[in-house]
Every structure is written in C-alpha cells, then in structure tokens.
Amino acid sequence: MPHNIEQVRAAIDNIDAQLISLLAERQSFVTRAGEVKAGQGIQDAHDPERVESILRARREQALDAGLDPDVAERIWKELLAAFTDYEQNAAR
C-alpha cells in the first residue's frame, strides 16, 4: 500500500484513467443501443425496467466485490441518468 498522499493520489488517478477508458467503451454501446431502438421505432431512450434491474444487479455485484452497495447505487443512478440522456440526444 502507498505511504504518502502523493502515492495514494497517483493510485486513484490511475484507477480513474482506467474507468474513463471503460466508460468511453460503455458509451459506444449506449450509442448503439439508441440506434437499435430507433431502428425498432422506439423513440424514448429511457427504459425504467432495465434501469431497476441494473441497479439491483450492481448492488449485488458491489457486495460480492467489497464495494459499499450504497456507494455503487448512487454512482450507477447518476451514470444511468447521464447515459440515458446521452443516448436520447445522440441517437435522435
């Protein structure tokens, strides 16, 4: 484990860089979801049932991984709201 704050922050910055790459990849699939929905004549990007199912699953996955499930739920609520808005604006 790192001993000083600079080392701790460098570790956090490194993890954030990995998260950014993964979120960029996730965004490309969100864009594709919007295209597929538009192709099926679905105008509304928001899918509340899918959102609820993701939130339940991420809480379980967080517990298994040692991540506080309340932290995970807050992050994913915001993430899903942001990506749903992104999908709505990008694909239509």
Ligand X SMILES: C=C(O[C@@H]1C=C(C(=O)O)C=C[C@H]1O)C(=O)O
Q: In the complex, which residues of this chain contact ligand X (CB under 6 A)?
A: 30, 33, 45-47, 50-51, 54, 80, 83-84, 87
The identity of residue 88, as a single letter, is: Q
Please say which residue, 9 or 56, places its beta carbon nearer to ligand X: 56
- Whether the CB-CB separation of 62 and 48 falls below 8 Å is answered with no
The CA distance from 79 to 74, in Å, is 9
Q: How far is the CB of 83 from ligand X (least distance, A)?
A: 3
Biggest distance spanned by C-alpha atoms of the chain: 55
The identity of residue 74, as a single letter, is: R
Please say which residue, 67 or 79, places its beta carbon nearer to ligand X: 79
Q: How far is the CB of 90 from ligand X (least distance, A)?
A: 11
Q: How far is the CB of 43 from ligand X (least distance, A)?
A: 13
